[in-house]
Amino acid sequence: MTTTENPTNAPAPEIGRDRRRKEDRRLITGRTRWTDNQAITGLLHLSIVRSPFAHAEIQGIDTSAAKQVPGVVGVYTAADIGADAVQLPCAWPITKDMKAPQRPALAGSRVNFAGEGVAVVVARSAAIAKDAAELVEVDYAELEPVLDMEDALKDGATLVHPEIGTNANAQWVFDSGEAGSGGSVAEALSAAEKDDDQVVIHRRFRQQRLVPVFMEPRSTVVDPTGEQLVMWSSTQVPHILKTMLALTLGLPENKLRVIAPDVGGGFGGKIAVAPEEVVTLLVARKLGKPVKWTETRSESLLTAHHGRDQIQDLTIAVTKDGIIKGLDVKLLADMGAYLGLVGPGVPILGAFMFNAIYKIPAYRFDCTNVFTTKTLTDAYRGAGRPEATFGIERMMDEVAVELGIEPMELRRKNWIKHEEFPYTTVSTLTYDTGNYEAATDQALQMFDYDGLRREQQERRQRGDVKQLGIGISTFTEMCGLAPSRVLGSLDYGAGGWETASIRMLPTGKAEVVVGVSPHGQGHETAFSQIVADKLGIAFEDVEILHGDTQSSYRGLDTYGSRSLAVGGIAMVKAAEKVIEKAKPIAAHMLEASEDDLEFTGGKFTVKGTDKGVGIADVALAVFAAHDYPEGIEPDIDAHATFDPENFSFPHGTHLCAVEVDTETGFVHLHKYVCVDDVGTVINPLIVEGQVHGGLAQGIAQALFEEAPYDESGTLLSGTLVDYTLPSAADLISFDTANTATPSTTNPLGVKGVGEAGTIASTPAVVNAVLDAVRQYGVKDIDMPTTPFRVWTAINSAKGTAGRGDEADVASPGAGLGSTASDISKGDTQGGHL
């Protein structure tokens, strides 16, 4: 083989390097561009008057006192600015007969959740606007709140939206028997009930309501004074927002520009066309002046969309030696008062994930979305997949307990073996690659699983106040949303492609315009590494441009762990096009045939010679354009759109040990190990950081966070005093590692990492908590497993357990020591809180 490659000049590969982030310098020195930082001369400030009632008729609004406040420019009800006629968009009509009630930007005649906006005040300062908002008098006639999903579906229930005649939004069903991807669950369950060698186990799990709690409160500034109306917004989805504003408000899209400047976290919570964004726009247009709205944290907790909130009924048929024969899943999913941008589809994403990493021959998923008079729910980190993973991984431990099988052994018996990939699941997805054995073996070793099991036994035997519990979660997720055709088949309102453009500057630097939109992920760093490698230019010479529809006109933004697995591939494709366009020009410059050229390390060289030109030389040559081949354009810039052929399927094994103080119910994280396979790693530092943050959020669901409502429909966690985010003192250092089976459906082999930690960790922690206290007769504890709940569960179970019902701590389930013998459908859950 002839080669002219000069190894001494070849730059070290960027992909795989733990580059420190380009983004950091501005962020650690305070030179930031948060939306609320915007200060435009003449800027007005908007404050929203919100309903204190969950469900009420608006009988009148008196704005006269507010209008008298010096500095107030205007006070508007919904009708004054046409906000009651707006239909905020839902992009995911999951069924043909889905009920989609109108969601106005401000309530006109009826409010449907506490916190819904009913009027706005615009003033020269935010403080004046807030003061004046206090003076707006709204006359409400209270209606019955609708709070419980099961009650809401009963005949005669109060209706959130009487005009649609039901509180059911939609019912979505997948049945593997009907789909031809597996057997009939009904048959599998009835066969199991007649078979002495099988058992049927039913469990009900509750996915509590959570709040994403991005650290930067939402903010929007609209400047209508230019030819294009400009909206700065703290959003994950500037492109979708622009198109949806055009469609929703009937504005010409060419007259809109949306900018997502620095965005301080999102976690799904900023995937929205928010009523406040629309109202700010309407007011700015009405006044012809720039207007800013920035929420308080309390407003954010009350009105920015929530996540999760499901009742899960799982029924599993399994042989007594632990082979799963069928899984039936029935969900109720709380939509809240209205449908968010993708809200109804969130639980449906879980439909493909309840079967998880297991070979399940028959599967049925039946989800009913329900309206209540609560804040609406929509995407929160993982979106449907954490709920599904929790359901199946909790169920695997329940099966292990019932059958007396070691819980990891049970999983091994059922998961897809590494040699069985690619594997088409019972829910019709084809997993391209994975190796559950490798990740698990490494995790068990890092965790010292056997050692901790021994310690657990010792503590039990000596009756230690602090009991050890060990929890497992072996998970997979579908990432890289998404193949457009698949989204089409699910009735989603858009595609799942992503776009990138590369602009080669005359000095050899590159600007890469991307359609994904970061809010903390480190895109500028990771994407620079990819493009630097592909074009053979320096990491520092790549500039990633994003988040402004004027520079990046085409994109579908950031969510669903798609930025790398879809957006990153668009960059690779664009770089390949740059090289293809540069090749004839390089050949011309080298007076060689294109066929004799090869491109390595940023340089075109003539095979068998030391003659070569760099990509920077070509960029300069087409800038001058004095001498280039006939018949081609003097331009090597390129644009590419990538539509994935499949999702990607990261997976991993998460192991958690907790200490439960049996006197106080306090749960202390003792050890957490996870080994994640996210495919090829572009930047290990960023991957590790994503896992850490994801773990913190998933653990927080298990132990700390909940957004409960009282009987009148008032949110009880309306401040950060009550919605208890973990602090540094509440968490421990995690032991993380990676295995890698590169994805075969994209050229980088990447899979996505943004959601892994959150999806996997919640069941690992809850399984651990239960593992510590099952010995007392506790069967379940609702999340979050607060000290009060754990203490109550222990004490009520101890109080009810018969003396002959002691735990079998020596069973093969080791720490799982089951007390249950009710291996039957519909068992009652003693000790359930």
Partner 1 sequence: MARIRTTVDGLVYEDDVEPRMLLVQYLRERLGKTGTVIGCDTSNCGACTVHLDGLSVKSCSVLAVQANGSEVLTVEGLERDGQLHPVQQAFHDNHALQCGYCTPGMIMQSIDLLGDNPDPSEHEVREGIEGNLCRCTGYQNIVRAVQDAAQKMKPGAHASTSSSAAQPVAGGGA
Instruction: Report the C-alpha gap between 784 and 777 in whole angstroms.
Output: 19
Contacts (Cβ under 8 Å, ≥6 apart) of 709: 54, 147, 374, 715, 716
CA distances in angstroms from 527 to 76, 534, 575, 650, 653, listed in the order given: 45, 11, 12, 20, 28
Task: For the CB of residue 83, give the shortest distance to partner 1 in the complex, in Å.
Answer: 25
Helix, strand, coil in percent for the chain, rounding step 5: 35, 25, 45
Asked if 36 interacts with partner 1 (CB under 8 A), we say yes
Contacts (Cβ under 8 Å, ≥6 apart) of 705: 208, 210, 211, 723, 724, 725, 784
Which of these segments, 61-69, 284-292, 384-392, 684-692, binds partner 1 (CB under 8 A)?
684-692
Instruction: Report the C-alpha gap between 682 and 530 in whole angstroms.
Output: 8
Asked if 559 interacts with partner 1 (CB under 8 A), we say no
Asked if 720 interacts with partner 1 (CB under 8 A), we say yes
Asked if 697 interacts with partner 1 (CB under 8 A), we say yes
Task: For the CB of residue 17, give the shortest distance to partner 1 in the complex, in Å.
Answer: 13
Asked if 733 interacts with partner 1 (CB under 8 A), we say yes
Residues in the chain: 833
Out of 297, 359, 825, 832, the only residue in the binding site for partner 1 (CB under 8 A) is: 297
Task: For the CB of residue 427, give the shortest distance to partner 1 in the complex, in Å.
Answer: 31
Out of 728, 802, 804, 821, the only residue in the binding site for partner 1 (CB under 8 A) is: 728
Name which of 694 and 815 has its Cβ closer to partner 1.
694
Name which of 315 and 525 has its Cβ closer to partner 1.
525
Residue (of 365, 385, 388, 333) closest to 173 by Cα position: 365
Task: For the CB of residue 296, give the shortest distance to partner 1 in the complex, in Å.
Answer: 5
Which of these segments, 3-11, 31-39, 342-350, 563-571, binds partner 1 (CB under 8 A)?
31-39
Name which of 192 and 696 has its Cβ closer to partner 1.
696
Sign of CA dihedral 46, 128, 56, 141: negative
Out of 263, 278, 537, 587, the only residue in the binding site for partner 1 (CB under 8 A) is: 263
Asked if 689 interacts with partner 1 (CB under 8 A), we say yes
Asked if 28 interacts with partner 1 (CB under 8 A), we say yes
Which of these segments, 59-67, 418-426, 622-630, 692-700, binds partner 1 (CB under 8 A)?
692-700
DSSP codes joined into one string, 167-192: SEEEEEEEEHHHHTSSB-HHHHHHHH
Task: For the CB of residue 722, give the shortest distance to partner 1 in the complex, in Å.
Answer: 9
Asked if 725 interacts with partner 1 (CB under 8 A), we say yes
- Both structure tokens of 651: 């997976």
DSSP codes joined into one string, 244-303: HHHHHHT--GGGEEEE--B----TTTT-S--HHHHHHHHHHHHHTS-EEEE--HHHHHHH
Q: What are phi and psi of 415, to 5 degrees?
A: -80, 165
Residue 204 · residue 312 · CB < 8 Å? yes
Asked if 12 interacts with partner 1 (CB under 8 A), we say no
Name which of 33 and 204 has its Cβ closer to partner 1.
33
DSSP H or E stretch at residue 668: strand 667-677
Q: What is the distance, to the nearest Å, from the Cα of residue 544 to the centroid of all Cα atoms in its chain?
A: 23
Sign of CA dihedral 417, 423, 428, 430: positive
- Both structure tokens of 787: 């000290």
Asked if 34 interacts with partner 1 (CB under 8 A), we say yes
Name which of 35 and 680 has its Cβ closer to partner 1.
35
620-659 binders of partner 1 (CB under 8 A): none
Task: For the CB of residue 693, give the shortest distance to partner 1 in the complex, in Å.
Answer: 5
Asked if 706 interacts with partner 1 (CB under 8 A), we say no
Pairing of strands 117-123, 72-77: antiparallel
DSSP H or E stretch at residue 79: helix 78-81
Tokens 């726009």 belong to residue = 281
784 preceded by a cis bond (ω within 30 of 0): yes
Asked if 454 interacts with partner 1 (CB under 8 A), we say no
Name which of 308 and 519 has its Cβ closer to partner 1.
519
Name which of 296 and 507 has its Cβ closer to partner 1.
296
124-163 binders of partner 1 (CB under 8 A): 127
183-222 binders of partner 1 (CB under 8 A): 213-217
Which of these segments, 256-264, 495-503, 557-565, 740-748, binds partner 1 (CB under 8 A)?
256-264
Which of these segments, 102-110, 145-153, 322-330, 719-727, binds partner 1 (CB under 8 A)?
719-727
- The per-residue b/e assignment along 764-777, b for 16 or more CB within 10 angstroms, e otherwise, is bbbbbbbbbbbbbb
Task: For the CB of residue 735, give the shortest distance to partner 1 in the complex, in Å.
Answer: 10
DSSP H or E stretch at residue 123: strand 117-123
Out of 555, 693, 752, 784, the only residue in the binding site for partner 1 (CB under 8 A) is: 693
482 preceded by a cis bond (ω within 30 of 0): yes
496-525 binders of partner 1 (CB under 8 A): 519-522
Name which of 603 and 654 has its Cβ closer to partner 1.
654
Asked if 692 interacts with partner 1 (CB under 8 A), we say yes
- Both structure tokens of 828: 């009652």
Pairing of strands 735-739, 667-677: parallel
Name which of 75 and 691 has its Cβ closer to partner 1.
691
Asked if 117 interacts with partner 1 (CB under 8 A), we say no
Out of 262, 498, 548, 705, the only residue in the binding site for partner 1 (CB under 8 A) is: 262
Which of these segments, 259-267, 361-369, 611-619, 633-641, binds partner 1 (CB under 8 A)?
259-267
Asked if 41 interacts with partner 1 (CB under 8 A), we say no
Name which of 42 and 608 has its Cβ closer to partner 1.
42
**Amino acid sitting at position 782:** D
Asked if 21 interacts with partner 1 (CB under 8 A), we say yes
Out of 117, 264, 290, 601, the only residue in the binding site for partner 1 (CB under 8 A) is: 264
Residue 467 · residue 459 · CB < 8 Å? yes
Query: Total residues contacting partner 1 (rule CB under 8 A)?
Result: 56
Query: Residues interacting with partner 1, by CB under 8 A?
Result: 20-21, 23-32, 34, 36-37, 39, 127, 213-217, 262-265, 267, 296-298, 519-522, 685-686, 688-689, 692-697, 719-721, 725, 727-731, 733-734, 757
